[in-house]
Homo-oligomer: A and B are copies of this chain.
Amino acid sequence: MCELLGMSANVPTDICFSFTGLMQRGGHTGPHQDGWGIGIYEGRACRTFHDPHPSAWSEVAELIRNYAIKSENAIAHIRKANRGKVCLANTHPFTRELWGSHWLFAHNGQLRGIKQRPLRHYSRIGTTDSEHAFCWMMDRIRKRFPERPQNGTELIRYIYKLALELDKSGVFNFLLSDSVNLYAYCSTSLCWITRKHPFGEARLIDTGEVWDFSKLTTPKDIVTMIASRALTDNETWTQMEKGELLVFRKGIPVNGDW
């Protein structure tokens, strides 16, 4: 299995604190040592960093921790391979372009028979069920919406429909972003927390490190983190329900009925 981490914020924010905790689980406090990756948006473009080596000892991960790239949207993933060998092509998050935006996708779980679903516009580069599922969803979204729909709810509903359909084939926890929204679908396990004024201290489970966010933020900042398992032990993370889709924009859940 794998672990996911996502961030949605209303101001450019670095993901260093949470990333530090997650990276420990890639070979040190957790078994997810078959590569890791992160995608960090700047507007409609995202830059990705991928490494097929364990994150706990990765020089690229060390750079991300120290370089503190700020973003309103980011998705990270550490991999414990179950389908597909350990190589760059199988390292999440995967990215494709649609409507002039990068889309990012990372998955935790397994999907039976997914590769029997034909792909049209987007093709798999690696051999994972995850990338196949992403390409299939992108194909469907592209077909249904040749251009970005004016009505954001329609898009969310459609993504939810696709998520529910694939979830029937196995375990399909995922994080997806179209550069504007961060979509978090819980098949078995995802939790989230929103940090906002008044900010307090947070302590990482995996390192014991404590950060005082009140010293790093302004009262207007809102930052939501989504993770496979809670990353801190002195804050209250909300478990998502099975079959639930949450959509975050600028750190805030998008309200709606889908």
Interface of A with B (CB < 8 Å)?
A: 42-50, 52, 59-60, 63, 66-67, 87-89, 96-102, 121-126
- 12 A–B contacts from the bound complex (CB under 8 Å): A43-B88, A44-B89, A45-B125, A47-B88, A48-B48, A59-B63, A63-B63, A96-B97, A97-B122, A101-B125, A102-B125, A121-B121
| Neighbour of A44 across the interface among B44, B99, B125, CB < 8 A | B125
Chain B residues, Cβ within 8 Å of A49 = 47, 49
Report A251 CB to chain B, min CB distance, Å: 21
Listed residue (A87, A89, A98) with the most chain B CB atoms within 10 angstroms of its CB: A89
Expressed in whole angstroms, the Cα–Cα distance for A49 and B98 within the complex equals 21
Expressed in whole angstroms, the Cα–Cα distance for A49 and B49 within the complex equals 7
Given contacts A63-B60, A97-B96, A97-B122, contact A43 B87 (CB under 8 A): yes
Chain B residues, Cβ within 8 Å of A125 = 44-45, 97, 100-102
Report A41 CB to chain B, min CB distance, Å: 9
| Neighbour of A59 across the interface among B66, B97, B98, B99, CB < 8 A | B66
| Neighbour of A124 across the interface among B50, B96, B100, CB < 8 A | B100
Given contacts A60-B67, A66-B59, A97-B96, contact A45 B123 (CB under 8 A): no
Q: Which residue of chain B has the shortest Cβ distance to A101 in the bound complex?
A: B125
Given contacts A59-B67, A60-B63, A63-B60, contact A45 B100 (CB under 8 A): no
